C-alpha cells in the first residue's frame, strides 16, 4: 500500500534528501494556502534597448512571501507547483497582477513599456492559456502588445502540434512571444521560427562569462547572427558587468537585462525607478532591490 511503501522508501533517504523532501512537503502544503491568501508578489527587472539605453520593458518574477520562512525564490516552489498543477492558478494570478502593473506604469507616462511574463509548460497542457490571456486582457483593459509571454524550449518540444496551435493563436491575438533560456534546450532556430516567436532570450549561462571566455562569446555571437538572419530580436540576460554589455553591443544584441542595469525590484521600488529614470538620473540612483 502506498503509505507503507512510502515509509520504506523514506528509510533509505540520507539526511540531506530527507531535509529536501521535508521542505518540499512543507512547501507543497503551504502553496494551497498561499494561493488562497495571495501570498505572492511580483518583482520587476528592467529590460533596456542596448543602442538607445532606453527602458523598454520589465520581466515579472514571482516571489512567495511566506509568513514564517520569509521571501521564497521561484526556483524553490515553481517546480513543486508545476508537479501539483497549482501552477495553473498561480499563473493566472501572475498574469493579472502583471497586467495591472503594466497599466500603472503607462499611467506614469511610460506608455511603450512591455511586461514579460514567464509561462510554464503545464499552463499549455493543463490550463486553457488562450482563454486565460484573453480574459485577463479584457478585465484589466490591457492590449495584447503590452505583454510578452516567455516560453521555454521545453514548452515547445512537448506535444508539439497542439502547443504550436496555441502559441500561434496567442501570437495572432497580438501578444509578443519570446524563448527564455535560449541555447540550453534542444530546439533548432528553424523549428522555433515556426512558432512565430519575436525574441530569443540568450541564457545567462552563455552571457555570464562571455567577456572572459572565448567559446561563450562565440556562442552568443552565433545566436545573435542566426537570429538576425531569421528576423528575430535578441535579448541577453544575466549581464553583470560593463565589459559584457559592451561586447553585446559590439555583436549587435538588441536588448539587455541583468544586475548591471538593475536587480528585480518590488512594485514600489520599480515605480521609483521609473520616476528617477524620467528625471534622467536612474543610473546614478541605487534603488533598493530584491532581498532574495
Residues of the shown chain interacting with ligand C2E in the complex, contacts defined by CB under 6 A: 45, 61-62, 73-75, 78, 94, 118-120, 150, 180-181, 237-240, 258-259, 264
**Residue 257 sits in the site that holds Mg ion (CB under 5 A):** no
**Grid cell in block for residue 36:** 488562497
Tell me if 150 contacts Mg ion by CB under 5 A: yes
Count of chain residues binding Mg ion (CB under 5 A) = 4
With cell 525564490, the residue in question is: 73
Place of cell 567559446: 215
Nearer to ligand C2E, 121 or 280 (CB): 121
Question: Is 93 or 191 the residue whose CB approaches ligand C2E more closely?
Answer: 93
Q: Is 280 exposed, middle or buried (0-12, 13-18, 19+ CB in 10 A)?
A: exposed
Question: 58 - beta bridge partners?
Answer: 46, 115
Contact 193, 162 (CB under 8 A): no
Output the smallest distance, CB 29 to Mg ion, in A. Answer: 27
Q: Is 46 helix (H, G, I), strand (E, B) or coil?
A: strand
Angle of helix 15-37 versus helix 87-107 axis, rounded to 10:
60
**For residue 216, with 0-12 CB atoms within 10 Å meaning exposed, 13-18 middle and 19 or more buried, which class applies?**
middle
Partner whose footprint covers residue 61, from Mg ion, ligand C2E, none (CB < 5 to 8 Å by kind): ligand C2E
**Taking the complex as a whole, how short is the minimal distance between the CB of residue 156 and ligand C2E, in angstroms?**
15
Does residue number 82 form part of the binding site for Mg ion (CB under 5 A)? no
- Smallest distance, ligand C2E to C-beta of residue 169, A: 20
Q: Are 247 and 255 in contact (CB under 8 A)?
A: no
Per-residue x/- track, 108-127, Mg ion (CB under 5 A): ----------x---------
| Least distance to ligand C2E, CB of residue 209, Å | 12
Least Å distance, CB 94 to Mg ion, is 12
Q: Which is nearer to Mg ion, 149 or 163 (CB)?
A: 149
Strand partners, 57: 47, 114
Residue whose cell numbers read 503509505: 3
Tell which positions 169-208 bind Mg ion, by CB under 5 A: 180-181
Instruction: List the grid coordinates of 70.
Output: 520569509
- Classify residue 251 by its DSSP letter: T
Binds 238: which of Mg ion, ligand C2E, none (CB < 5-8 Å by kind): ligand C2E
Residues that bind Mg ion (CB under 5 A): 118, 150, 180-181
Amino acid at each position: 500500500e502506498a503509505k507503507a511503501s512510502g515509509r520504506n522508501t523514506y528509510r533509505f533517504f540520507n539526511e540531506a534528501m530527507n531535509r529536501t523532501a521535508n521542505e518540499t512537503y512543507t512547501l507543497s502544503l503551504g502553496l494551497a494556502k498561499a494561493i488562497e491568501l495571495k501570498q505572492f508578489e511580483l518583482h520587476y527587472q528592467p529590460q533596456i534597448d542596448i543602442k538607445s539605453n532606453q527602458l523598454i520593458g520589465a520581466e515579472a518574477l514571482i516571489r512567495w512571501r511566506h509568513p514564517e520562512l520569509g521571501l521564497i525564490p521561484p526556483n524553490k516552489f515553481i517546480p513543486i507547483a508545476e508537479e501539483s498543477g497549482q501552477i495553473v492558478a498561480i499563473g493566472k494570478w501572475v498574469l493579472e497582477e502583471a497586467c495591472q502593473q503594466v497599466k500603472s506604469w503607462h499611467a506614469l507616462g511610460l506608455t511603450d513599456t512591455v511586461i514579460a511574463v514567464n509561462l510554464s509548460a503545464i499552463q499549455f497542457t493543463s490550463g486553457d492559456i488562450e482563454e486565460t490571456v484573453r480574459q485577463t486582457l479584457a478585465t484589466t483593459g490591457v492590449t495584447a502588445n503590452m505583454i510578452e509571454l516567455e516560453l521555454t524550449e521545453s514548452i515547445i518540444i512537448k506535444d508539439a502540434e497542439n502547443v504550436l496551435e496555441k502559441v500561434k493563436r496567442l501570437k495572432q491575438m497580438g501578444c509578443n512571444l519570446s524563448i527564455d533560456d535560449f541555447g540550453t534546450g534542444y530546439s533548432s532556430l528553424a523549428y522555433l521560427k515556426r512558432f512565430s516567436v519575436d525574441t530569443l532570450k540568450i541564457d545567462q549561462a552563455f552571457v555570464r562569462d562571455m567577456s572572459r571566455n572565448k567559446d561563450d562569446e562565440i556562442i552568443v555571437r552565433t545566436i545573435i547572427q542566426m537570429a538576425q538572419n531569421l528576423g528575430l530580436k535578441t535579448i541577453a540576460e544575466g549581464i553583470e558587468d560593463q565589459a559584457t554589455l559592451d561586447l553585446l553591443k559590439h555583436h549587435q544584441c538588441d536588448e539587455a537585462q541583468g544586475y548591471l542595469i538593475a536587480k528585480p525590484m518590488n512594485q514600489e521600488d520599480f515605480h521609483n525607478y521609473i520616476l528617477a529614470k524620467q528625471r534622467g538620473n536612474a543610473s546614478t540612483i541605487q534603488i533598493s532591490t530584491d532581498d532574495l
